[in-house]
Amino acid sequence: MILERCLGSMLLALSMLSNVLGAFVGVNIGTDVSSMPPASDVVAIVKAHQITHIRLYDADPHMLKALAGSGIEVTVGVTNEEVLGIGESASAAAAWINKNVAAYMPSTNITAIAVGSEVLTSVPHSAPVLVTAMNNLHKALVAADLNFQVKVSTPQSMDIIPKPFPPSTATFNSSWNSTIYQLLQFLKNTNSYYMLNAYPYYGYTNGNGIFPIDYALFKPLPSVKQIVDPNTLFHYNSMFDAMVDATYYSMDALNFSVIPIVVTETGWPWQGGSNEPDATVENAETFINKLIQRVSNNSGPPSQPTIPINAYIYELFNEDKRPGPISEKNWGLLFTNGTAVFPLSLGGPSQITGNSTAVFCVAKDDASEDKLRDGINWACGQGQANCSAIQSGQPCYLPNNIKNHASYAYNDYYQKMHTVGGTCDFDGTATTTTIDPSYGSCIFTGSSNSSTGRESLPPTALGPISPGGSTKLPLSKIQFLISATCLLVVLL
């Protein structure tokens, strides 16, 4: 009885922690990279960029060892090739848990297992044993006393929802209903979450012009182009939200509700072939930074506004060895030397790190290129800003776009002149921000960081207890709180 009360109090405390402290953005780490750095370097890069949640597509022992003591939350993957064997053999599942999870915990903070990747659509011959494999792994976690720390789920593609819009009428492909029903029952029984791979890039490029690109990029739409579900009258400000909501409605159609969704993959390629005009640095920068802002507001989609959306960006490095079109090889946030492909900004004031009292002057997202060009010419000329850093071959030249160069020039002028009356306006194309726009070796005047880059994701910290949010306490402190709670229960 005492143990039951202790566990109940513990779960209540952890639930309160996770629900109060909000959502997180994580990053996937693929390994089809021709110049993949050693695992220790990868972890150093992840830590330098303040990335607190990562997903591995396998259970690479080098990475799991290198992550020991970092506190970084890790989702490990069962590969598609392993699903069948684990689904057919409970002993194989137990061996997998012992080798790839138990052997590294608690020093490596493993919090979830992703069983396969889009199994229903990519390896359908394994689908009949998918849920059995998940059950086998969960039972092995129970046997190892790790089931309260490690969740089991399986990432699925949006392709299993044939008609995702309008979200309110979305349903799973009926040919998969039996498997999906079993999957959802497992997630409910184990208090786990639905892993969704949601790519607005593909939703837009394969949509035959049905939706505007701004909708896919989280950009505001004019009133005459608002995206509205005709059945619920919910307004959707982004395709991302609509995809998540379509999945919630699909679960509801099978009579499952409030199984939280974690987006295990989303992103935007920053380079493509001649037939991929939307794969650009500008679009990737816009999508990623607005995604971070979106997740950081700690709200859910219109149908589930109180369930925050945790999301993992695809991906850390470009996987140049992947087959397929040019865009398939260019989803990375960082180059393998740790510098950013484009500037990454935080989502809001609550996520500011470092010198939060500094104010920077940057170009507005919706400013016209002609006006930005005029602004750069004035700042670097009459305004006497030092614009050498945005010249070819210099630290702030890449990404080579007007908005990035304007932000640097505007800020250099503003930092020198605001104390004597200089403003951050530039014909309405500029705005002030307390978010440090520095990235890689490109350091903006006024930054508190003079030696390392400042690309960072929302700085959630260690140990998510539920998919609804992430705690900001180190694992050791959480364990202390749990112990104290249990002690209190015993004394009572």
CB burial of residue 4 (10 Å; 0-12, 13-18, 19+): exposed
Could you read off the pLDDT of 132-168 as tens digits, one per residue? Answer: 999 999 999 999 999 999 999 999 999 999 999 999 9
Domain 21-334 is classified in which CATH homologous superfamily? Answer: Glycosidases (3.20.20.80)
> What are the extents of the domains in the chain?
21-334, 360-433
Alpha-carbon span 312 to 256, nearest angstrom = 24
Cis before 166? omega within 30: yes
**pLDDT for the residue 289:** 93
Percent of the chain with pLDDT over 70: 84
- Rounded to whole angstroms, the Cα distance separating 484 from 487 reads 5
- C-alpha distances (whole Å) from 389 to each of 392, 393, 397, 453, 460 are 8, 9, 7, 15, 32
DSSP assigned state of 148: T
Measure the CA–CA gap between 126 and 82, rounded to whole angstroms. 10
| Helix, strand, coil percent content, the chain, rounded in steps of 5 | 40, 10, 45
Instruction: Identify the pLDDT of residue 365.
Output: 82
Judge whether residue 466 has pLDDT over 60.
Answer: no
Confidence of residue 357 (pLDDT cuts 50, 70, 90): low
**74 closest CA partner among 60, 66, 64, 65:** 64
Q: How many CB atoms lie within 10 A of CB 275?
A: 9
Q: Which tokens belong to 295?
A: 């997740």
The pLDDT of residue 359 is 84
468 or 402, which is more confident: 402
pLDDT on residue 448: 60
Q: Is the pLDDT confidence value at 2 over 50?
A: no
Which single residue is written with the structure tokens 């608002």?
226
pLDDT band at 215, cuts 50/70/90?
Answer: very high
Q: What percent of the chain has pLDDT over 90?
A: 67
pLDDT of residue 373 exceeding 90, the answer is yes
Cα–Cα dist 335/204, whole Å: 26
Can 455 be counted among the known catalytic residues?
Answer: no
User: Which residue out of 118, 319, 328, 455 is catalytically annotated?
Assistant: 118
Q: How many CB atoms lie within 10 A of CB 356?
A: 12
**Predicted local distance difference test score (pLDDT) of residue 22:** 63
Q: Is the pLDDT of residue 230 over 70?
A: yes
DSSP 400-434: --HHHHHHHHHHHHHHHHGGGT--S-TTTTEEEES
Which of 149, 190, 151 lies closest to 478 in space, CA to CA?
149
Q: How confident is the model at residue 446 (pLDDT cuts 50, 70, 90)?
A: confident
What pLDDT digit, counting tens, does each position of 247-298 carry? 999 999 999 988 999 999 999 999 999 999 999 999 999 999 999 999 988 9
Please tell me the distance from the alpha carbon of residue 249 to that of residue 303, in angstroms, as a whole number: 8
The model's pTM = 0.72
For residue 198, give the nearest of 161, 162, 164, 157 by alpha carbon.
157
Most confident by average pLDDT, 15-24, 27-36, 44-53? 27-36
Query: Tokens in use for 83?
Result: 């699903």
User: Is 72 in contact with 459 (CB distance < 8 Å)?
Assistant: no
Does 398 have pLDDT greater than 70? yes
Asked if the model's pLDDT at residue 475 lies above 50, the reply is no
Return all residues near 218 (Cβ < 8 A) that are at least 6 apart.
237, 238, 240, 286, 287, 290, 291, 293, 294
Place of tokens 């679009």: 283
- pLDDT on residue 445: 85
Q: Is the pLDDT of residue 355 over 50?
A: no
pLDDT for the residue 345? 58
Q: Is residue 67 within 8 Å of residue 101, measured between CB atoms?
A: no
Helices 130-143 and 177-189, axial angle in degrees (round to 10): 20
The single residue of 73, 82, 265, 315 carrying the catalytic annotation is 265
Residue 395 has, within 13 A of its CA and on its CB side, a CA count of 14
> Averaged over 211-231, what is the pLDDT?
93
The DSSP letter of residue 317 is: B
DSSP character at residue 53:
E
* Residue 321 to residue 410: CA distance in whole angstroms: 39
What is the distance between the alpha carbons of residues 307 and 305, in angstroms, rounded to a whole number? 6
Span 352-376, mean pLDDT? 78
Closest by Cα among 175, 177, 296, 291 to 243: 291
